[in-house]
């Protein structure tokens, strides 16, 4: 009992990232109350940390997914052992309800939250599992990820049951999920916000052309933010089609380290040239160029962070909402909708607009890097030249 009290007080062992945590035997889950007994386990793990690592190993080839899944599993493990005083494999449904409340206000903050709103590296002694309370959206995301973890551990024969599954019953009267794309009229308003940006000083001009370039890249190519960050100007290349016409392409290393080529339409190449000239670069990139697709303002040439790109896009949506609210009362609904938008909405917008403009769904699939249109379309494959031509003709940003 004394040891458990020490754990509850946070003194039993240091609060460390998952890879560095060493749990005492009564906390490691080897004898957890929810461990599956009498079955043939499908994994070798005999404690909670090894079981979590076995689950995480499935996502090693997708860094963003791996980092997000590790973060949520790590938080719950640390909370369970330090705050609750029991192994992760002893958690009950009632414990899960306590943890959900904890996510909205992780206290004591000195133990759980990084100081001064900063984000420290996982190797830094100042590292903590949280940077602050989780928003409702982040809480829901945590629940989804942890439900995946517990369901997998049950299927693997490590746990007897999933204590989160009782919370998964949906209210039939709940509001339908918002479709996350911008309709044509709202997309026009977003472009107008960008076109209305100040252009008096050199810095303002640089910000304006960078914004045009970023939104062109996200919309015309349907890229993810991670793909904007993770690829370079040298990924552009030109090749002749069977008619002898030169066509530009953008080779993208995307989710799951999968390569795809995306049509770089004339509109996109014009925006690229404008952006590069504004940065003092040649209009077209060289094949060995290592500059990122989007650069910070000024002379820096390093890649921007995911958070910085999200903030830039979000600011445009917020400014659009402000402008719509100032216009008239009939624009309030549009303002509310665009205020909810994020960078990933532009990827959905690109796909929706291509489909609405009769771009072959096989071409939409290949442009966005989707696995398939549906199960029955797994064997369809589109011609690259036809895909480029149709994207060129039917999918335009029209600044």
Look up residue 84 and give its DSSP letter: I
CATH code for the part of the protein at 184-394:
1.10.443.10
For residue 271, report the phi and psi dihedrals to the nearest 5 degrees. Answer: -65, -40
| Cα-to-chain-centroid distance, residue 14 | 30
Q: Which whole number is the average pLDDT over 39-68?
A: 88
Which two structure tokens, joined as six digits, stand for 130?
A: 């949280």
- Whole-angstrom distance, CA of residue 323 vs CA of residue 35: 56
The confidence score (pLDDT) of residue 187 equals: 92
Which two structure tokens, joined as six digits, stand for 309?
A: 């790109």
Q: What pairing do the DSSP bridges indicate for beta strands 236-240 and 259-264?
A: unpaired
Mean pLDDT of the chain: 85
At 185-197, the pLDDT tens digits run 899 999 999 999 9
Name which of 167, 226, 154, 219 is nearest 188 in CA terms: 219
The confidence score (pLDDT) of residue 331 equals: 80
At 215-252, the pLDDT tens digits run 999 999 999 999 999 999 999 999 988 888 899 999 99
pTM for this one? 0.55
Which two structure tokens, joined as six digits, stand for 88?
A: 């992760």
Bridge partners of 237?
Answer: 249
Q: Which residues belong to CATH 1.10.443.10 in the chain? A: 184-394
The confidence score (pLDDT) of residue 5 equals: 34
What DSSP element (H or E) covers 240? strand 236-240
């Amino acid at each position: 009992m004394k040891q458990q009290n020490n754990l509850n007080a946070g003194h039993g062992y240091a609060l460390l990232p998952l890879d560095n945590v060493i749990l005492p035997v009564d906390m490691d889950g080897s004898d957890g109350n929810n461990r599956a007994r009498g079955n043939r386990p499908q994994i070798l793990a005999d404690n909670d940390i090894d079981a979590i690592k076995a689950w995480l190993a499935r996502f090693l080839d997708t860094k963003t997914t791996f980092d997000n899944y590790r973060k949520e599993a790590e938080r719950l493990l640390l909370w369970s052992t330090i705050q609750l005083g029991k192994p992760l494999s002893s958690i009950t449904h009632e414990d899960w309800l306590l943890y959900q409340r904890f996510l909205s206000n992780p206290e004591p903050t000195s133990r759980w939250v990084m100081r001064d709103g900063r984000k420290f590296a996982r190797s830094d002694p100042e590292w903590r599992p949280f940077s602050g309370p989780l928003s409702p959206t982040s809480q829901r995301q945590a629940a989804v990820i942890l439900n995946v973890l517990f369901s997998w551990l049950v299927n693997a024969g490590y746990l007897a049951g999933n204590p989160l599954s009782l919370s998964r019953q949906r209210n039939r009267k709940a509001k339908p999920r918002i479709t996350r794309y911008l309709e044509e009229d709202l997309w026009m308003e977003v472009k107008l916000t960008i076109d209305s940006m100040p252009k008096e000083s050199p810095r303002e001009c640089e910000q304006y052309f960078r914004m045009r370039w970023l939104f062109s890249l996200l919309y015309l190519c349907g890229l993810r933010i991670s793909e904007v960050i993770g690829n370079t100007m040298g990924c552009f290349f030109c090749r002749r089609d069977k008619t002898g016409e030169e066509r530009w392409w953008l080779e993208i290393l995307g989710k799951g380290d999968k390569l795809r080529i995306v049509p770089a339409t004339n509109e996109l190449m014009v925006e690229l040239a404008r952006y590069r000239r504004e940065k003092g670069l040649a209009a077209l990139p060289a094949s060995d160029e290592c500059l990122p697709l989007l650069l910070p303002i000024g002379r820096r040439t390093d890649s921007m962070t995911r958070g910085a790109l999200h903030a830039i896009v979000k600011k445009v949506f917020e400014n659009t909402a402000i402008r719509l609210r100032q216009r008239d009362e009939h624009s309030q609904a549009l303002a509310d909708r665009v205020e909810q938008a994020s960078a990933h909405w532009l990827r959905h917008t690109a796909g929706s607009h291509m489909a609405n403009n009769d771009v072959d769904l096989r071409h939409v699939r290949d442009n966005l890097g989707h696995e398939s249109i549906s199960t029955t379309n797994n064997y369809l494959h589109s011609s690259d030249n036809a895909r480029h031509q149709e994207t060129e003709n039917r999918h335009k940003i029209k600044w």
